[in-house]
Amino acid sequence: MVMVDAIAVFLLGLLLGVALGFLVSRRFLAKTQTARPSGAGRRPAKGEVKMVLLVRTDLGMQKGKIAAQCGHAVLGAYKAAIHQENIYLEPWERSGQMKIALKVSSEEELCDFHTRAEKRDLSCYTVRDAGHTQVAPHSRTVCAIGPASSVALDTLGCNSLKLL
């Protein structure tokens, strides 16, 4: 009789522990989940996901300067993508974070791409250099757009630019 009571108490305790754990975890998960803006949570369209780096060639920047400016641009666009809850961010991270460096010939062309990207709600960031080394202060040097689908980037006209 004592053995049956001990088993019953054990099973009841186990059942209560599981139930309590379940309720606590549901409550915790409900608090950690945040509302998503429209578009967040949707699956991106199939196809390639990448980021493009539009580099001004009229400034005559050396390779090391271009590399540093591209680094600033990628970080800025990545932060913008996080802030916007960009639906392409996670697939881009999982697929190797493809980045393509392309040439633009002027500040006007760079700004035009940035404006078109913003109008299409694409994550983007344009670097303004401090001017300590090779270029004048506040020069716009590189614009990163994405991560986004290749199709979205092609509609901006990125497919017409030459590789750096």
Digit-coded pLDDT (tens) for 77-111 = 999 999 999 999 999 999 999 999 999 999 999 99
d(CA 68, CA 114): 19
Helix (H) or strand (E) holding 59: none
Q: Tell the residue number behind the tokens 């099973």, with chain if given.
A: 11
Q: Which residues pair with 53 in a beta bridge?
A: 101, 144
Which fold, 49-160?
Bit1 (3.40.1490)
What band does 47 get if pLDDT is binned at 50, 70 and 90?
A: confident
Q: Which residues pair with 101 in a beta bridge?
A: 53
Instruction: Give Dmax (Cα) for the chain.
Output: 92
- pTM as predicted: 0.73
CB 150 within 8 Å of CB 117: no
Sign of CA dihedral 83, 88, 93, 99: negative
Q: Minimal CA–CA distance to 55: which of 98, 99, 106, 92?
A: 106
Q: Minimal CA–CA distance to 66: which of 113, 117, 134?
A: 134
Mean pLDDT calculated for residue range 57-83: 97
Provide φ and ψ at 113, rounded to 5°: -65, -40
Mean residue pLDDT of the chain comes to 84
How many CB atoms sit inside 10 A of residue 71's CB? 14
Mean pLDDT calculated for residue range 20-44: 48
